Amino acid sequence: MPTPWVIEVRLGTRPDAAPLRRAVVEAEDEAAALRLVLAQAEQDVSAARAGLQDDGQEEVFSSAEASGRSEHHAGEEHDDPAGNLV
């Protein structure tokens, strides 16, 4: 009889890190549950690649930008937290 499994994939060992992927699947055993989650991940990657091929563009972000922090590049103006142009 299938059992519900909750599979979370995390990067690193920090206990407070949010999972990159969280899936609830029903499977007979642990190995079958992991295979189902792997299949879902492969479908997601395939769909993302197809979207890039359709669009023809790929955007590249630094790790700081991807984590929500902004970066200052030479020649760019930006507002500081007080609202002043720097």
- pLDDT, one tens digit for every residue, the chain (86 residues): 899 999 998 888 888 888 889 999 999 999 999 999 999 999 988 887 777 666 555 566 666 666 666 555 555 555 556 655 55
Write the secondary structure of the chain as one string of H (helix), E (strand) and C (coil). Answer: CCEEEEEEECCCCCCCCCCCEEEEEEECCHHHHHHHHHHHHHHHHHHHHHHHHHHCCCCCCCHHHHCCCCCCCCCCCCECCCCCEC
pTM tops 0.85, yes or no = no
